[in-house]
Chain A
């Protein structure tokens, strides 16, 4: 959810209306606190490799003889893994892997507690025993897919260098497994991500990408790359980003939708940061492709592509212009009306940031027909999207010219905007009240204050603003009071501070001073 550096933004608005539009842009700031469920449309951080075969899961079904599945107790596993019999090592590792691949409740913690991880990591280096390497890699992949503590156990078991070496394994299924494991480790957070980068994971990983790489493998590589781009505080090192970007851009041209999706996610992470990071992406010339992908019918592609473009338009005016030149304004109208509320919301967020730009960009927004869908969204959209739409209108009225604001009113924005004064969200109400003040400032310039007053009253806005004068939130009630006093109370005198006087008539006298202005 985009969170805003709202306070400073608002102060800017109070003091220098329209003078510093760039700061109206609202970055996607890291949210420390979330009350909601983790979002379903986010990209998956870590994945476990699950065995879907019945035999793997229920070895008692009777076909085990053919597959020679052997069940071992935990004690037997420890003994075998630590022993020197390669056959037993393989059996034990396989048994471990199988347990970890159960669909439900894999015993990750128990396995860690056995203390066999360093040993499994060691198995990764057994170039002479590919089956053992593979089973160990798989088992460790699944352990790394758990909580941060689980991943930590794998890393501390010394698996990173081993996995990186395995990327160059002659056996494709082993190097694929290594890619997967590294993806899980990278997905844990910036610390391990950078640990991998420092161990030089990128060159061998990128070397795996070739025209003949099978799609399934390529999916894994893309996903791991995206995790290497992911997370902030700090962002991934710039030289790593520069190495990965050209490959990601090629991957974005692939025909497989999952590969496209994950490469878009990667780019969305890379654009989620300071303007110089956005610039690196813009410089690749990828924006037109991203915009094209925003128009895709696949939700898993639209979501990250929109996310990436949404991030780009939080940047400088020039970066935003690059997104506009890439055609974002032609695609946004459809996304504002998308069936998924989260897409509506992201699209409105992007729109709000474009509306925060200079008036020539606002003009493009008008020319490209964004006002009708914006008004529509404000009227009928999901609440999350309506909130963003309110910001879009607020930014528009802050930076727009008189003519542009008039056009916004003519598009019918007032009715749905005023209706949202009933929203159960203090911030949204406050932003609307500020926007109403902006409309009045415009009306004053045109000498149309009276007409706007009537319009606001007609649309039942006046009684809503009046009701807000008893709102519990101080800023809301003061903003409402201010509008009422300024525009809707014809017969009141301003209450001014009295001075002090002396007895009798006032005494007119002055002392001379030295003046210097």
Chain B
């Protein structure tokens, strides 16, 4: 492509078409541009257009297209990658670098931003080696005096340098920084000084000030980036200049820079906020050098806080400033800056208390955006808020001054409570602040699970609870002063471990009552508080609050919980649903009388939300609650399982038919639970579903695999005979599922769960014709992609097979696949790898299986396999006595592995649908060591003399000693 007018014209037309709303016009144009972007001069044509086009829209479009082009193509991935050739020829690269900086600087802001981005993308690749004059070119522009140009340079510099803030130290990085410092630090410092001068000469010119302050913000940001990795010599030498000016900027105010906007931070706020960050950086990293300046900054920042208003636009500045004080006040050598009683009082009074106040914005959130409010207040996603910063400052100050601070605040709390008492309806916010203050003062450590775990001993939490929290919750109206109700409930929740149990018991009916409150926050908090109280541990690992203590409240609790789900805004409230689950779990059989109504309400809910599942936590707890209803009821009355099936199967069918993907794994788990409740042969309703469960589409979704495997295992446990007789034609499909799972490194253990169940439960003749194929498949996998997880599962399986079909059958089937196969598996797999098997049941299966191979397999005694007999015994003793071998070969380290596979389906997404551990050899063998001893004894009786001679020739002394121990324990001797 030549740089000709004709080409410019063509390009203009195509660019215009890319803006067309009609895809039929837009798409081909985009395609065309993509097809020509590899041509020489293409980027230069774009640059020409963005500079010279008559139409502004084309200029902007060309600049965006150019930036995206650079983004896609500048980086040369690697010369050897064939499908990613270098699309930008060297001469274009040189031309772009030569022209882009002046072009960017002379462009209007909209285009400047695009070009600035493009420069930083290019810079990331080429700077500094392949773009040596970039810095000088930029620095020269500082002289221009045109702040539009200067800001363009600063912005570009910022996007080039900001990576210094997060990259690891390396020689390469530091070489670049050093180069930047040498060229940039002095001009930047001079620019900083000059800009500050100009600010005072233009102190009355609002538009000039705006431009100048934008520059100062960028300069302050550059300072942060350039000083991040280490304190550069230049900045250490010029600390006086920078810090003195930063300090005076912190104290500066100019009416012209104040904005009317309440929400959006203005230039002044942004600058001061960045200066706080800069000071914090120095205080943290370069304390030794910064010490002389620090006290000045503490004072300035503290004054700043005292004089800054409550508007939202100051939030970032205020929280940054408070965090600065919080980080400084806990350093031992700055303790003295705070220890004066007047200082402390003033910080408490003027910095902490005002920032803890409930503001209009909080009130709005409480009412209109309760979900967000709850998340911030309850779950601690409040890191950048003022309240949180104030709280951190309280905790920081308490490190050295717990006594005085507590004293000062006690005074405040009392006076605020008095204010409230005078006129509650006007002054309720005072009480809110008082509660917040007590909370932040008292809490030293907190977790979601346990609430406050360490409290300030100087605060009497119970007294405050009885005098100031309970009265609010006892008041007749649950809807009065909702914020204070929420505060009170939260107080119970977080101090549940500090308040004595009898007070908690008094609170329970109050909390149940507040489930009816109209305010979403209030009834949500009530539900959450109840749920937390029900999970508290008492002595002997029982719950603190017992089902007996709850007896008087069961009906009202359940009624109010389900009613709360009908309140506006709470139809899918996860806190309420979790409280329902927890209540069931606590109350156990006392809920049985209410089950008919409960299960109706739950199924209705399920039907309603399955139309559009949107709250994963809510849904999860709903299914947990269903599982609990089933377990609790069927434990008392096993026949009740039918009525649950009746109530649930209709909804389940609908979920399966409509393919509600989110719910299908849950449905399978509930069905597994129901099926396992049956004592007799599998009902026909389940059998009808069986072929559908083998549909590949279900197995394509990874989330289905664990629950489906579990469900098929339940089918096999309860219905193996029915399957063999009535659905024999589905056995290949069932094995197909196994084959599918075994092919995947991630799911192979699930395949083994299924296979183990097939081997354990299916009548042998029904799978006879497939057995050889099964082993071939496993050997293939072993050959092609052996992983530790696979080997562990494989070992468990062949030993289970050996237990079920006998050692001889195992040897025969192996050797029928390939001669001497059995010996190869013993030598290459079982003996060296058996140590890796983990899990008690799994180890036991292997022990019993290997014992059988040793003692019930004639070829082990009188063929070439005999040489493996002692090593196998030695490996078995190792399995008993040596620690588990948990080494994983290097290359496997990064494979995505689900948690350690167990013999049992480990998947228990629904905790209350959980399955008991199953031990297929439990009845046969109690103690596998004794079993080994007895089996060896039997063998030695059959062929006297052989066993002791094999032992004495090659078993090592330690193993022999262990073995003798087993023999002794079993009271047998070897003949």
Please name all residues of chain B whose beta carbon is closer than 8 Å to the beta carbon of A173 when the two chains form the complex: none
**Which one of A458, A473, A495, A503 lies within 8 Å of B168 (CB-CB)?**
A473
Docked CA distance A6–B173 (Å): 15
Given contacts A457-B447, A505-B695, contact A472 B165 (CB under 8 A): yes
Alpha-carbon separation in the docked complex, A330 to B13 (Å): 81
Interface residues of B in 225-260 (CB under 8 A from A): 228-233, 236-237
Given contacts A454-B447, A509-B773, A514-B818, contact A496 B898 (CB under 8 A): yes
CB neighbours of A502 from chain B (8 A): 696
- Report chain B residues within 8 Å CB of A512: 776, 817
B367 to chain A, nearest CB (A): 27
B740 near A: Cβ within 8 Å?
Answer: yes
Contact B898 A494 (CB under 8 A): yes
Contact B166 A35 (CB under 8 A): no
Question: When A426-B168, A493-B703, A508-B736 are in contact, do A35 and B445 touch as well, CB less than 8 Å?
Answer: no
Nearest B-chain residue to A490, judged by Cβ: B911
CB < 8 Å: which of A495, A505, A517 contacts B824?
A517
A498 close to B702 (CB less than 8 A)? yes
> Separation in Å of the B175 CB from the closest CB of chain A?
5
Q: Within A137-157, which residues are at the interface with B (CB < 8 Å)?
A: none
A35 touches B730 (CB 8 A): no
A458-B445, A512-B817 known; A380+B744 contact, CB < 8 A = no
B285 adjacent to A35 (CB under 8 Å): no
Tell me the A17-74 residues at the B interface (CB within 8 Å): 32-38
| Docked complex: B201-246 residues within 8 A CB-CB of A | 228-233, 236-237
Which chain A positions have C-beta within 8 A of B898? 494, 496
Q: Which of A454, A493, A496 contacts B747 (CB 8 A)?
A: A496
What is the bound-complex CA distance between A315 and B905, given in angstroms? 50
**A467: nearest residue on chain B (CB-CB)?**
B383
Docked-complex contact A35 and B231, CB < 8 angstroms: yes
Q: What residue of chain A has the Cβ atom nearest to residue B780's Cβ? A: A513
Closest to B444 in A: A458
Interface residues of B in 807-841 (CB under 8 A from A): 817-818, 821, 824-825, 828-829
B611 at the interface (CB under 8 A from A): no
Assess the A510–B773 pair: CB atoms within 8 A: yes
Q: Is the CB of B447 within 8 A of A33?
A: no
Contacts of A509 in B (CB 8 A): 773
Contacts of B744 in A (CB 8 A): 496-497, 499
Contact with A along B240-284 (1 / 0, CB 8 A): 000000000000000000000000000000000000000001001
Cβ–Cβ < 8 Å partners of A382 in chain B: 287-288
Beta-carbon contact of A35 and B232 below 8 Å: yes
CB-CB under 8 A from B824, the residues of chain A are 515-517
Are A35 and B178 in touch, CB under 8 angstroms?
A: yes
Contact A515 B782 (CB under 8 A): yes
Asked whether any CB of chain B lies closer than 8 Å to the CB of A128, the reply is: no
Q: Say yes or no: A505 contacts B736, CB within 8 Å.
A: yes
Task: Give the contacting residue for A515; candidates B181, B446, B779; CB below 8 A.
Answer: B779
B134 part of interface (Cβ distance < 8 Å)? no
Output the least CB separation between A325 and chain B (Å).
32
Option from B174, B281, B909 in Cβ contact (under 8 Å) with A493: B909
Instruction: Determine whether B351 belongs to the interface, using a CB cutoff of 8 Å to chain A.
Output: no
A423 lies within 8 A of B730 (CB): no
B453 and A425 contacting across the interface, CB-CB below 8 Å: no
By beta carbon, the residue of chain A nearest B172 is: A33
Report the minimum CB–CB distance from A45 to chain B (whole Å). 17
**How far, in angstroms, from A495 to B746 measured CA to CA in the complex?**
10
Are A515 and B893 within 8 A (Cβ)?
Answer: no
Q: Are B696 and A506 in contact (CB under 8 A)?
A: yes
B167 within 8 A of A: yes
User: Which residues of chain B have C-beta atoms less than 8 A from A504's C-beta?
Assistant: 696
Considering the chains assembled together, what is the distance between the CA atoms of A473 and B896 in angstroms?
23
Contact B233–A501 (Cβ < 8 Å): no
Check B560 for interface membership: any CB of A closer than 8 A.
no
Q: Is A294 an interface residue (CB 8 A)?
A: no
In whole angstroms, what is the CA distance A473 to B747 when docked?
32
| CB neighbours of A383 from chain B (8 A) | 284-287
Interface bin, chain B: 35 or more
Given A454-B449, A497-B746, are A506 and B694 neighbors across the interface (CB < 8 Å)? Answer: yes
User: With an 8 A cutoff between CB atoms, is A104 at the interface?
Assistant: no
List the B side residues contacting A460 at CB < 8 Å: 445
Chain A residues with CB under 8 Å of B829's CB are 517
Q: How many of chain A's residues have a CB under 8 angstroms from any CB in B?
A: 59
- Whether A507 is near chain B, meaning CB under 8 Å from some CB there, is yes
In-complex Cβ contact of A35 among B233, B287, B453 (8 A): B233
The answer to whether the Cβ of B620 comes within 8 Å of any Cβ in the partner chain is: yes
Docked complex: B413-427 residues within 8 A CB-CB of A: none
Residues of A within 8 A of B232 (CB): 35-36
Quick one: which of B620, B730, B736, B896 contacts A491, CB cutoff 8 A?
A: B620
Complex CA distance for A426 and B166, rounded to whole angstroms: 6
Q: Is the interface of B mostly helix, strand, loop or mixed?
A: helix
Kindly state whether residue B296 has any CB partner on chain A within 8 Å.
no
| Residue A459 lies at the interface, judged by CB distance under 8 Å to chain B | yes
Query: Are A508 and B699 closer than 8 Å at their CB atoms?
Result: no
Contact B732 A508 (CB under 8 A): yes
Contacts of B730 on A, CB cut-off 8 Å?
505
Residues of chain A within 8 A (CB-CB) of B620 are 491
Chain A CB within 8 A of B701 CB:
yes
Flag if A498 contacts B701 (CB, 8 Å): yes
Partner of B178, one of A33, A426, A427, A496: A33
| Complex CA distance for A513 and B782, rounded to whole angstroms | 12
**Are A35 and B733 touching (Cβ within 8 A)?**
no
B784 nearest in chain A by CB position:
A513
**CB contact between A459 and one of B331, B445, B777, B896 (< 8 Å): that residue:** B445
Contact with B along A86-113 (1 / 0, CB 8 A): 0000000000000000000000000000
Assess whether B411 is interfacial by the CB under 8 Å rule: no
Least distance between B457 CB and chain A CB atoms (Å): 17
From B167, B181, B287, B383, give the contact of A426 (CB < 8 A): B167
List A contacts of B231 (CB < 8 A). 35-36
Residues of B within 8 Å of A496, CB to CB, are 702, 705, 744, 746-747, 896, 898
> Within 8 Å CB of B287, what residues of A?
341, 382-383
Residues A215-233 near B (CB distance < 8 A): none
Chain A hits for B178, CB < 8 A: 33, 35
Contact assessment for B699 and A506 in the assembled complex, using a CB-CB cutoff below 8 Å? yes
Do B166 and A501 have beta carbons less than 8 Å apart? no
Q: Are A35 and B696 in contact (CB under 8 A)?
A: no
Smallest CB gap from B228: residue in A: A424
Check A507–B732 contact: CB distance below 8 A: yes
Taking the complex as formed, is B454 at the interface, i.e. its CB lies under 8 A from any CB of chain A? yes
CB within 8 Å for A517 and B166 given contacts A382-B288, A506-B696? no
Within 8 A of A (CB), among B631-656: none
B450 adjacent to chain A (CB < 8 Å): yes
| In the assembled complex, A292 has its CB within 8 A of some CB on chain B | no
Q: CA of A38 to CA of B732 in the docked complex: distance in angstroms?
A: 77
A512 to B779, CA, bound (A): 9
- The answer to the question of B169 belonging to the interface, with a C-beta cut-off of 8 Å to chain A, is yes
Residues of A within 8 A of B (CB): 3, 6, 14-15, 32-38, 341, 380, 382-383, 423-427, 430, 454, 457-460, 463, 467, 471-473, 475-476, 491, 493-517
17 examples of A-B residue contacts, CB within 8 angstroms: A35-B178, A35-B181, A35-B233, A383-B284, A383-B285, A423-B284, A457-B448, A496-B705, A505-B691, A505-B694, A505-B696, A505-B736, A507-B736, A510-B739, A510-B777, A513-B780, A515-B782
Query: What residues of chain B have their CB less than 8 Å away from a CB belonging to chain A?
Result: 163, 165-169, 171, 174-175, 177-178, 181, 228-233, 236-237, 281, 284-288, 331-332, 380, 383, 445-450, 453-454, 617, 620, 691, 694-697, 699-703, 705-706, 730, 732-733, 735-740, 743-744, 746-747, 770, 773, 776-777, 779-780, 782-783, 786, 817-818, 821, 824-825, 828-829, 890, 893, 896, 898-899, 909
Task: Please provide the 6 A-B residue pairs with the shortest distance between their CB atoms, ordered closest to farther.
Answer: A506-B736, A505-B733, A501-B696, A33-B174, A472-B166, A508-B735
* Other A-B pairs, 9, CB within 8 Å; known A33-B178, A508-B736: A382-B287, A383-B284, A473-B167, A491-B620, A493-B703, A494-B898, A504-B696, A505-B730, A506-B736
